[in-house]
Amino acid sequence: MQRIREDLNKPQKSFVSIEEFCQYTGLKYEHIESYIIG
């Protein structure tokens, strides 16, 4: 998460959105949605 923040020039304690995480990792939201929602 910290590497994503650094690459996106976000403050150290800021949140990384699901969209930012997916773009960074190359995952599709549809693939991780069930893990988030349950």
Copy the structure tokens of residue 4. Answer: 């994503």
Query: Does the reported pTM lie above 0.75?
Result: yes
pLDDT of 28 reads 95
List, for residues 1-38, the tens digit of each pLDDT value. Answer: 999 999 999 999 999 999 999 999 999 999 999 888 88
List the chain domain ranges: 2-36
Tell me the one-letter amino acid at 6. E
Q: What pLDDT score does 16 carry?
A: 96
Which ranges of 1-38 does DSSP label H, i.e. alpha helix? 2-7, 18-25, 29-37
d(CA 38, CA 35): 5
How high is the pLDDT of residue 27? Answer: 95
